[in-house]
Amino acid sequence: MGAMPSPTKTSFPVRCAGMDIGSNALRLAIAEFTSPTRYRVLERVRVPVRLGESVFHTHRIDPATLEAALDAFRTFRRKMEQHSVVVHRAVATSATREAKNRAAFLERVHTETGIDLELIQGTEEARLVALGVKSKMSLEKGLSMILDVGGGSSEIALVGHGEIMVVESHDMGGVRLLERIGSVAPERALKMTQQTLRSSRFPILDFFKRRRLQRFVGTGGNIETIATLASTNGATPDRVMRVSLPRLRQTLGRLAKLTPAERAERFDLRPDRADVIVPVGAIFEYVATRVRAREVWVPFVGLVDGVLIDVARTVGAEGMKQLEVSQTRNAALALLRKYEADPRHARRVSALAVSLFEQLRPLHGLPKRDGFLLELASLLHEVGSFIGAGGHHRHSYYIIAQTPLLGLADEELLVVANIARYHRKAPPDLSHEGYRELPERDRQRVRALAGILRVADALDHDHRQLVTAVQAKARGSELRLKVSTRGDVSLDEWSVGNKGDLFREEFGLRPVLVSRG
């Protein structure tokens, strides 16, 4: 199965598989899609391999766990073959991401099972979870929060009218909290978890001091178990359940009094659920209280469902991608505000850069997605000024590279960070670590896109938005830029001369202004 058929050539119905390589368990879901949104799950598999345990302790996946995980992947592969799956996607979250021997792990998974494991950040995790949730319940009206607690991390996503607005990722998960607190008496453990939570910062929750939430949604196996235990009439996981906050507290209190072994015994829980359920329950209780939610909606879907839906979408529609683009743009704008960068300059430069990118397509031949990366880099090129004016291009790089943006793959984020870095000062050079570490293909993209960004930035050099539009035409050895302006642009003219160097190197054309108001 190693080589998958090209997704775009496949048509519905199609069988897809999603895999979630979490910190507490490995999951597979296989479904048949009749359209990008309609599907029927054929099989779900959960293998309790706790990758997080050794990673959060020693920063490595230990050999025994690694072998157990490989066994699970072999099972997954067999299942996919049985169901004639054509498209799959496998994502790994914090445990794998933090393991120092992750490269070796990924390599073995690939060579032994043909599955390409993709490391994802918390923001991508939240986006996928939200996709899963939306397939089960409507988030169209008002403001919703989705809290997904895994073994190694928690993701809080704020969804406004169906679109993700903000995501906050915390390295707080069931397995990790267990590791941190160690073995203490059960009731003590709950208290210590609560104190740890109170001492942590959740900036996203401050948002709710004055605002009300419509819906508080919980995902992950633990909250599902709690919902089931709290329910009086026996649960059916096909429904969306609602647990009131008092019920949640009561159930949590009941569980906390017992040792994990007693919990497993009395409530018929799996052993790897019985221990983490209390710390994870405490996270739900804490966040729900902070946002003043009256109840938790539990839709019984998770990351693996999101992965499944996401992979099915790549099969068919390009149009769905538009939604993600606007979510990513929202995330970039939020970052811009956080670092107090001048929004008018950022928006103008980004509009000019995108316009140049479109007009110059015959010249650079880069795909549309690169234009979007350029747009993001243009929006964010000055965030580094918040840290300090000196070397602010390098600070912009640091900030962007450290802040996963919703809907962007890691490699794309690094491209954006590099473009922003090269908006001024020294051009890309292999002595720069962040640039050197890019694959050659991305380096080329960075050079071309930074060349365009520099020209666009020069057009609004004095931050007064005097240049309102630009028309670019190559003539001879020059790129003639005809600009529409309001006011005197002598300054920008000077600056285009100075900042056009990289563009000239990349495209062999010297940008010159031929201003006509």
Question: What does the binding site for other proteins look like in residue numbers (CB under 8 A)?
Answer: 122, 169-171, 180-182, 184, 188, 191-192, 195-196, 198-201, 203, 340, 385-391, 395, 398-399, 402-403, 462-463, 490-491, 494, 498
Angle at 101 between CA 97 and CA 104, to 5 degrees: 105
CA gyration radius for the chain? 25
* Residue 399: CB minimum distance to other proteins, A: 6
Write the DSSP string, 7-19: GGG--SSEEEEEE
Do the strands 154-160 and 14-21 form a parallel or antiparallel pair, or are they unpaired?
unpaired
Considering the complex, state which of residue 46 and residue 191 has its C-beta at the smaller distance from other proteins: 191
Considering the complex, state which of residue 282 and residue 399 has its C-beta at the smaller distance from other proteins: 399
Considering the complex, state which of residue 7 and residue 497 has its C-beta at the smaller distance from other proteins: 497
Considering the complex, state which of residue 6 and residue 183 has its C-beta at the smaller distance from other proteins: 183
**190: Cβ contacts below 8 Å, ≥ 6 apart:** 252, 256, 278, 279, 282
* Residue 148: CB minimum distance to other proteins, A: 16
* Residue 156: CB minimum distance to other proteins, A: 11
Give the position of tokens 């679109």: 163
* Residue 149: CB minimum distance to other proteins, A: 15
Burial class for 333, CB neighbours closer than 10 Å (0-12, 13-18, 19+)? middle
Question: Whole-angstrom Cα distance, residue 62 to residue 75?
Answer: 20
Tell me the CA distances in angstroms from 293 to 30, 251, 287, one per residue in order. Answer: 34, 17, 9
Considering the complex, state which of residue 285 and residue 310 has its C-beta at the smaller distance from other proteins: 285
* Residue 243: CB minimum distance to other proteins, A: 27
Question: Whole-angstrom Cα distance, residue 488 to residue 449?
Answer: 27
Of the candidates 24, 1, 23, 170, which has an alpha carbon nearest to the alpha carbon of residue 102?
A: 23
Considering the complex, state which of residue 140 and residue 206 has its C-beta at the smaller distance from other proteins: 206
* Residue 219: CB minimum distance to other proteins, A: 20
* Residue 58: CB minimum distance to other proteins, A: 12
Considering the complex, state which of residue 318 and residue 488 has its C-beta at the smaller distance from other proteins: 488
Give the position of tokens 């140049």: 356
Considering the complex, state which of residue 487 and residue 517 has its C-beta at the smaller distance from other proteins: 487
* Residue 388: CB minimum distance to other proteins, A: 5
Instruction: Give strand pairing partners of 511.
Output: 479
Three-class SS state of 33: strand
